[in-house]
Structure formats: C-alpha cells, structure tokens
Structure 1
Amino acid sequence: MTALADATLEQTDALAALTEMLVEVERTISSLQAARDGILAVGSRLALEVAEQAEHPDQGEMSARTVAAEFAAALRVSDRTVQRRMADAAWVVERFPMVWEARGAGRISAAHARVVCEAGEHLDDAASRDAYATQMIVFAETESPARVGRMARRVAERFQARSIEERHLVAREKRAVWVKDVGDGMTQLGVLGPSALVHGALDRLTQMAEAMQEPASQEPESEEPDRRTIAQLRADLALDLLLTGTPVGHDGSEGSLAAIRGTVSITVPVMTLIAGDATPAELNGRTPIDPMTARRFAGAASGWDRILTHPITGAVLAVDRYRPGSDLRRHLRARDQRCRFPTCGYPSTDCDIDHHRDAVLGGSTVESNLGHLCRRHHVLKHHSPWAVEPRGGGLYAWTSPTGRIYIDRPPPQNTVTFTEDPEVAPF
C-alpha cells in the first residue's frame, strides 16, 4: 500500500488548498500573538513609567500587579499568569525587537522566536543581539524550530563577550541532582552536569536498552517477552546502575550490558584543537561545549574522524580517519548530522542511510545518492508519493503529494571559514 497514491486529482487539489490555508492561518496566528505581546509589553512599560514618575520604592512591582490585575479581570484569567506574560513579552520586545517584528510579520512562528531568544538570552550588548537576530531570522524562515535552536546556540557563541571556557567554569559550579515527587508513587530524578558527560550517560543507557530488546538477549526460559519501551528500559537501567553500580538486575551471565560504554560525537575546529583557538566545539551537532573539554576527549580517544571542509563555504569535502573504516558512512554522518527530511531534527546516529534512488532500480551506493532518514521519514518516502531528488553538494529537493517542493540543505559544519569581508559572519 502506498499512501495517497490512489488519490484523485480533486483530492490532491483539496490537500494543496488546505495546506495553503493552514500556512496562512499560522501566519495570522503568529501576527496576532506578536500583537498581544506588544500590548502586554506596553502595559509593563506603562506600569514602570507610573512607578518612576512617582518614585515608588518597590520599583514598579505594585504598579505591574495593578496593570496585570486589570488585564486579567478583563480576560478572566489569573493575574499572576498575566504579570508573568507581561514580563516575558517586555523582555522579548525590548531585547529582541527584530525577532518580535519578524513574528508580527508572520515570517517566523512563536516557537521559532522562543528558541532564538533563549539561545541569545545572555547577549548583553544591544548591537550584538541585533546582529545575532538578523542572521537567525533569515535562517528561521526556512527551517524548523528544532533546527533553528541548534544553529542559534552556535551563532550566539560568536557574539558572547566572555569565552565559553569562562562561562563553563562558572556553570559547572551549579551541577546538582534533585528529585521532584509527581504523585501516584512516582518521582522524577534530575541531573545537571557537563553536557558531554550527560549525553554520554544517556547514550550508554540507550545502547543498553536497545541491546536488551534484541531477540538474542531474551532469556530462553522466559515465558513472557520483555515488552518495556526504550524509555522504560532506560529508566529501569538508570536506577539499577545508581543503586548497584552495575546493571545486575538486567545483565546476563556474560556481563554484556556492563561492557557497553557511552559515546558522544564532538566536532572541533582544527585550530581550536591544536592552536588554542577559542572557537567552541560542538556536541552531537546540538550544543556548544568548551574547547578544554573537547581537547581532553580528543586526547583520550583511540581514533577520531577528520572532516575536511571548504575554507570559504564550509561544505564537507572529505572525511577520513587514521584507522581504516567505513569512510562513506562516516562522511554521510558528518555531512547530514540529522534526518534529511525537511524540518526533522532526528540525529543521524539514530537514522537509516537511505538510497534516494533504490539500489534495486539501479541506484548507486555513492555519496550523492545516499542520505540519512529517520525511520518515520524513511517509511514515508517508500510508502507515499513524497519523492526526493539530489541536486548536488548534499542538497535535496523533496516533492510533496501536492507538488510543493521543499529544499533541505545539509547543516553547516562547526568549522572556521574565511571571507574577504570581516563583518560578514557566515553560518
């Protein structure tokens, strides 16, 4: 069965019309939400002006409560909620006016605006915030919030007054473990720690959980198969490890689970690695980490991939390794970083490598015909009228059932590029 393959021309046209209507409705909603934030921000500013002209000792707190109560009563909602929204709206409108304006114009959604503002939260200089916002708004117009968030964290680093190493040393002091009771005999356990260690711990739990789901790991004398999900297995294994030091409650007689080690993928520019450059490294294509941690991991690794990039565009040229291995697979993982379906942010480590033109139909196993797809979009490609066409340089054009074309570009590498104009900061 191929989804929508049997749809009539009228049904396909109806889907296209619905898509157009949905896009316009979302733009309208975004504009109205931005207008609401503008009104809330003005209300917040009004409260502060009243407090300043009367020299209120509480610096506007009671005035803000009063305005919030006025709004809340008219809207029939909690005044605490309204006051919090007023503060949030004022923060966005005053610190990131360009993001607010782009949202008001329907160019980006509320989710896009939120991730851009959150990533630039610590930028104190107004000019830096505006330069950062200018770059991110353009990027956000063609990408999903998940992808924008990852890029925003990378771009924001370029405008930070303090290096990531300085900030990481301060942030490390906040590492902690906490619990939160949620009822029904359940409690949440939270951990705040260095990104590389936390991601490594999660990867080890995931590998253990997946190993337990493999048929070979099932006990032959077991009458009932283990039906736990990956999330449930991770939770059970985490508690097992914390309470016993090893997964004794889940491991087999050979200790195969205990032998599993967590892995992370760190991309670090070569000048940062060997010359002490301050450009941050990047963990799993998701979040920047300090160069000192990256150098420590690189020094301890038994082998690592070298990603050769173009000095101007930053495009991947080749991937090799000191120790022989699957060069093409590593090249694709370095190039794609995540699922190549438009808007999907699923990491490449959890994706399938797909032949865009099926191998059984003559598609060759080369870089230009291969790309990472998460299982959801891999199935969609093969069982629906969605089609993908490679256009060179890792760029793919996806055609929807209604004939719309969506371009998906490989994410920019965390690398150093050169330009004749020092004021231009490419992604």
Structure 2
Amino acid sequence: MPHPYVLLSAAVSLDGFLDDTGPERLLLSGPEDFDRVDEVRAGSDAILVGAGTLRTDNPRLLVYSAERRAARVAAGLPEYPLKVTVSASGDLDPDAQFWRTGGAKALYTTDKGAQRLRGLLPADVEVIALGPDVQWRAVLAHLGDVKGVRRLMVEGGGQVHTQLLRQGLADELQLVVAPLFVGQADAPRMFGPGAYPPGRMRLLETRPVGDVVLMRYVPAAPGTGALASAADRRWLEAACDLAAQCPPSRTAFSVGAVIVAADGTELARAHSRESGDPVVHAEEAALAKLDPADPRLPGATVYSSLEPCARRASRPAPCARLIVGAGVRRVVTAWREPDTFVRSADGSAVLAAEGVEVVVLPEYGDRAKAPNAHLLPPSGRVADRG
C-alpha cells in the first residue's frame, strides 16, 4: 500500500502565527470552521500531532459529531480515526487527554523513548519503536503498510508541518486565515525557515467559512515541469504494482490503474484481464466499478502504468475515450504506449484534445515495463512514441 495521503491542517493569524505567547491557546477559528475540521477528521483514517502540540495544547483529537461517528461505523470503520503522535524522546505526559479519549492510539518513538514510557501509557496505546531515531518516511511507511492508513490528517505543530513539507511528504495544505494579528515575534509560526521544494503551489479551493478563509493548496513536484505531487508518485507506484498482478499474456500488455478522488480517497483499482476477462483493460475495469454519475469523477485522477489506449480491437471504445466520457480531467501515467500491437495509437493526444491534463512520470517507466518484459525486444527497450 502507498504511503498515506498527507493533509496538513492549520489556522493562522493574518501575520502568519499559529498562536500567541499567552498561557491559554489562542482560538483562531470560529464554530463554522471547527465543524469543518470535524468533518475532515471524520473522513480521515488517522490524525497526527507532534509531541510539542501534545504538551502545550493537550488535545483530544476527537470526532465530535455523533452523526459522523455513526456514519463511520456504518461504513465499517472504527468510530474514531487512529490518533498518532511522534516523539523521539518519549518525554510525554502519561495523563494527557490524548491517551485517555477516543479510540486506538499509536506513538512512534525511538528505542530509548519506548523504554522511557514502558508501563506508563494505557494498554490500548501501541508504542512503535523505530530504532535509534525517528524518520518521517519510516513513520508514513508503517502507517500505510501496517496500519492501513490511506488518509492522514496532520494538525500540527509548526515543526511537524515544516518537516513534512520540506521533505516533500505533504500532499495537501488546508490553511485557514483568521482576521486578527498576533504581532509577537516569538510566537509560534506555521512554517520555519529552511529549504522548501521549489515552485509555486497550486490552489485547489478558496472559500469563506464563517469569518475565516479556507485555502487548499497542493505542491508541485520539483523538476517535473508538470503538476505532479508526492501523492501522484505513490498512486502511480500502486498502479505499477497492480500491473504485476496481471495474468500473463502474449497478445496484450499488463497494466494497472487506480482512480483517486481530489481529496485523496481511492475510488477504484483494477488490472488488465481482471476477473478472468481476457480482454478487459485496467482503466476500463476500474471505471466499471464506479457509478457513472459519481460526482467525484470530474475531480478525480486516473493513474495508469501505461498510457490509456486510443484504439483497440476488442472493445468499441478505447480507454482514452472511456476516461473522457466519465468526465475525468486528469491522467498520470508512467509509460507511453509503444507500437507493439497498435500503430500510432496516441492516447495522450486523444485525452489532451478533450482538455484532459496528462502527466507522464518516465522515472516509473522501468517498473511499468517489468511485467511486460516478454513483449519487448531482446534489448528490453522499445521506441516509445513521442
């Protein structure tokens, strides 16, 4: 499973502060935004805060709406998302509200930190020791691969936000700006100094929520020349992994596809020749699992290990046309379709002509080609179009 979709959530003052220096927490949001945050929490698999936030704010990190908790249970999910914190030192208050409220909790720490807290935390808290230090990639890998977390909401603090964004691990930023000034130079800020990924972020949404303004941004991947995020890379990896699950064929490529909503929710996944159908394509099979009227499709992205086909003999409509017909406006792929079976079948051109954004990440080409090695020339290379 890919790393979780990492959503950074915070509220700041007009001059960029998370809080003031007073003894009580500064409430930047109003009732409407607190309800919005509750909704985002309810849609997440896990909520994470850093140790500093745990010490200063003593948060509960609950879903407060009974209706939203009931909807989670009805969907087969735990009543509350997993609560997660990270502390290298293990210097945490065993009586904090974080440990004593809600459902399952997990602490990522070092071997020394785990030793320090042994026997002090409630029995339902899972302590995961990651060795002599704690690396964010290791935390995210464990959350995705072991805990099954696909959507992670990060609620601070500033140091955690800074580290995740600087390391290219944040997939979305939900920033609320409150109409007030803090004006204290030593108050905590949302982000600290350092080397951040280059390029402008892309604005997904801006809207008023009560008297604050919500802005949603996604980062651009450095050096791609296209708007590809860390999530794009992880979902494309998942599509390549699906391609490896295809029954082998001498007459068709092995392809994997994943359809993901704009908020990072996986909608469907499939691979070629799925369920015994010898001619079904990955994108076709994934789209067939969704209601054509699903309102999330126009904002979704199709991740396919191979460029969607523009022509085919086995079905009336090629995958590029199916994607356009479904209303999807974005496709990310690893490998342009070679002329092995169909001459000059440029699926990307078909998509682009219909206004669909096509992002090609060629660094994943070898992974996409691996399950198709038996179809390639002895050199293992083909002359891709374009």
Pick the TM interval, shorter chain.
under 0.3
The structure whose RCO (Cα within 8 Å, separation 6+) is larger is 2
The structure having more radius of gyration, on CA atoms, is: 1
Q: What TM-score does the superposition give when structure 1 sets the normalisation length?
A: 0.26
Q: What TM-score does the superposition give when structure 2 sets the normalisation length?
A: 0.28
Q: Which has the higher helix share?
A: 1
Q: Which has the higher strand share?
A: 2
